[in-house]
Structure 1
Amino acid sequence: MNVLWRSNPTLAYRDWQTREAAGADKRPFSARSIVQHQAMFEHFRQHLVARGTTVVAFGADDIEAFWRTADARTYTQTTRVRYVKLLDRLCRHLVFAGVRKDNPAASLLKSVRWPDDEPEPQYLDKGLDRRLQAHLQPPAEGLADLRSRAIVALFLATGVTAAEARAARVVDLHPDAQPPYFRVPAHGPRGARTVHLAGFAVSLLSDWLARRQTLPIDGDLLFSLLPDGRPITDMSFGRIVAATLTAVGATNVEMSPRTLRNTFCRRQLLAGRTHDDVSQMLGLTSNRTCVRIAATIDKG
C-alpha cells in the first residue's frame, strides 16, 4: 500500500477511504461523503501535479498556493474547513504509515473553524439574474457547452439543490408539457414535488433533453459525466456554475448552485408569491429560508 501512495495515489486514497478512513466520531464515512472526499482529494492532487510535487512530498506552501487557485478562491469558509480536515486526516495517516515525515496541515487546524453564524444568503440581484438568463439563450458551442448551459438553467429556473440535480433522471424533465415542469422525486425528509420551468429555460432544456437521448451514455441520469454516465460531483457543478457566473460578470458572490437556488427563491418572492408557496417550490418544510431571503429584499 505504501508503494501505491507513490505510484497511484488516486487508487490508494480510494482504497483507504473505503476500508479504513473514519470521521472524528470514529464512524465510517457515508457513501456520499466518500464520493465527495475522493473528488476533493483528486482536485488537490491535480493541483500538486501542476506544481510538480506529490501527496507524499507537498508542504504548507503548496496548501497556501491551493487557496489562491481560481476554484479555491470561491470556496466558502465551510468548504475550506472541510479541505483542511481532509488534508490533516490524510497526512496523519501517511505519517502513521511511514510514507510522510510531517503533517503540513496540522497547523492550519488552529486557524480555521466552522462558521459561528449563518452567512448572509448569496444571490444575484435582478439585473444579474436577467443578464444570466439572457446569457443562456444563444446557441451552445458544442455538447459540453450545451450541457453546462442546461445545468445552470435548471438551477436558475427551478431552485433545485445540487443533490437533486445530480440524481435527476431523463424522465423527470418535461419541457414540452403544458405548462413545462420538472419533477423532483421524494428523497430523505422531502416529499416529491413538481416545479414549473421558468420560460427562459424551456428551449434550452428541451434542446439538451433531445441531444441527451441521442447519446450513447450508460444509465438514465439527466446530467452525467460523458460518456460513462457517472453522476456529476458537487465540485464539477461548482466549476460549471462559477465559469458561467464569471462570464456574466457576477464575481462578487459565492459561485455555487446554492446562489442560483437563492436567486430563484428571491425571484419568486419579488413576484409576490407567499413564503408557504415558495418553500413548497424549494421542497422545504419551514419558511426559514424564505424569511432570510425576504430580508434581503426589505434591506434593499
Structure 2
Amino acid sequence: MNQNDDWLHAPGMAFRRWQKLDATGAAGRPFSARSIVQHTTMFERFQRFLATRGTDIRHFGEDHFAAFLDDLGGHCRAETSTALRYAKLIDRLCRHLVDVGLRGDNPAAAHARLSSWPRGEPVPIYLDEVADLRLQDALQEWPEGDERGLRNRAAVALLLATGVTSAEIRRARREHVIAERGRWRFLVSAHGARVERLIPVAPFARAVVDAWLHRPRADDDELLFPLLGPAGSLSEETLWRAVRAALDAQGFEGADRSPRVLRNTFARRLLIAGKSNEEVSRLMGLASQRTVVRLRATLMAPGRSLTFSQAP
C-alpha cells in the first residue's frame, strides 16, 4: 500500500503525515507542533461535516464547502478569522491532493483567494460583572428529576467557573473534579501543545456540579459529562446549545453565544480580581498573553476606576 492509499483508507493519518513532512505555510516554513494539532482538529471537524453530507475529501465540491462555512458561521463570530483559516487550510490540502492525483479540482480555491484577513484584533465578547453575577445566581438552581437539565446546568457552571474550552470539558473525567477539605479544583489533562493544569473551581459552581456527580447512576461511565444514552461524550453541539440557552435566559444579546463567552468572562473576572496577565494565561492554557491583553483592555473603559495592579 502506497501513501496515497492512506488518503483513501486512513485520511486522518495521511493528513497528520502530510502536515509533519510536507506541508508548509505561506512563508514556506514547516508548521509548528501546536499548529499541526490545531490543523488536525480542523481537518477532523471538516471530515465529520462531509460525512453528514455523504461525501469525503476526495469528492466534495464548492457547494459542500460553502455549506460547511455557513455551518461554521453559526458557531463563530463574523469578525474572527476562523472561516478564513479553514479556507486556507482546505485550499492548501486540496492543492496537495491535486498534486498527488487524488483530486482534479480545488473547491476551496475561490474562498481562500477572495477572502482577506480581518484588520486589527477582534473585540472579545464577555459578560460584564453584573451579567456574570446574574448568571452565577441562576446556576444555583437546577431542574429536579431532569437528568439532562442537571447535566447541562453543571457543564455550563463549570465552564463559567474554570474557563476551560468546550473540548476540554467534553473529554474530562469524573476524577478530574478534585474536592479536598472544601478546596475544589479542576484538572485539565495535557493535550496537544497544552500542558496539564489545575484550576480552582469558583464556589458558585460547586453545588450543581456536586449534585451532578452524586446523582443516582445506572452506568459506570467515567466521563464527567457523558451522553445520556449511547456511550460517548457530550456532543459539541449539545454543549453549545446548553450555553446558548443559559445566555438567552439572561437576555444576553452578544453576537457570540458560545462557550468562548464564558471563557472570556472567567478570564476577565480574574483580571478584575488582580491576577496578572501571565497567571490568567496559564490558567487558560494559553501559550501567549494576546487574548488576555485584549480582555484587560476592556477594563480601561472611560470613567472606570481600577483598584487592582496593572501587570505588564
- TM-score normalised according to structure 2 size: 0.68
Check 1:67–1:39 CA distance in 2 against 1; reply closer, same or farther (3 A cut): closer
CA contact (8 A) 2:98 2:105 kept: yes
1:197 aligns with 2:202: yes
In structure 2, how many angstroms separate the alpha carbons of the residues matched to 1:287 and 1:18? 28
Secondary structure of 1:124's match?
Answer: coil
Query: Which runs of 5 or more structure 2 residues have no equivalent in the other structure?
Result: 303-312
Check 1:118–1:63 CA distance in 2 against 1; reply closer, same or farther (3 A cut): same
Could you say what the CA RMSD is over the residues aligned between the two structures, in angstroms?
4.3
Residue in structure 2 matched with residue 178 of structure 1 by the alignment: 182
Aligned residues: 284
1:292 aligns with 2:294: yes
Check 1:100–1:30 CA distance in 2 against 1; reply closer, same or farther (3 A cut): closer
Query: Which runs of 5 or more structure 1 residues have no equivalent in the other structure?
Result: none
Secondary structure of 1:138's match?
Answer: coil
Secondary structure of 2:186's match?
Answer: strand
In structure 2, how many angstroms separate the alpha carbons of the residues matched to 1:286 and 1:253? 25
CA contact (8 A) 1:175 1:205 kept: no
Residue in structure 2 matched with residue 169 of structure 1 by the alignment: 173
Cα offset, 1:195, TM superposition: 0.7
Cα offset, 1:260, TM superposition: 0.8
Residue in structure 1 matched with residue 123 of structure 2 by the alignment: 120
One-letter amino acid of the structure 1 residue matched with residue 164 of structure 2: V
* Per-residue Cα deviation, 1:89-126 (whole angstroms, up to 9, x for no partner): 44335545656432221111123344453321221124
Cα offset, 1:156, TM superposition: 0.3
Residue in structure 1 matched with residue 74 of structure 2 by the alignment: 73
1:206 aligns with 2:215: no
CA contact (8 A) 1:123 1:253 kept: no
In structure 2, how many angstroms separate the alpha carbons of the residues matched to 1:247 and 1:57? 42
In structure 2, how many angstroms separate the alpha carbons of the residues matched to 1:18 and 1:75? 25
In structure 2, how many angstroms separate the alpha carbons of the residues matched to 1:212 and 1:182? 22
Cα offset, 1:295, TM superposition: 2.9
Residue in structure 2 matched with residue 275 of structure 1 by the alignment: 275
Secondary structure of 2:224's match?
Answer: coil
- TM-score normalised according to structure 1 size: 0.70
From 240, 254, 257, the equivalent of 1:255 is 257
- Counting aligned pairs with the same residue, the percent is 35
One-letter amino acid of the structure 1 residue matched with residue 70 of structure 2: R
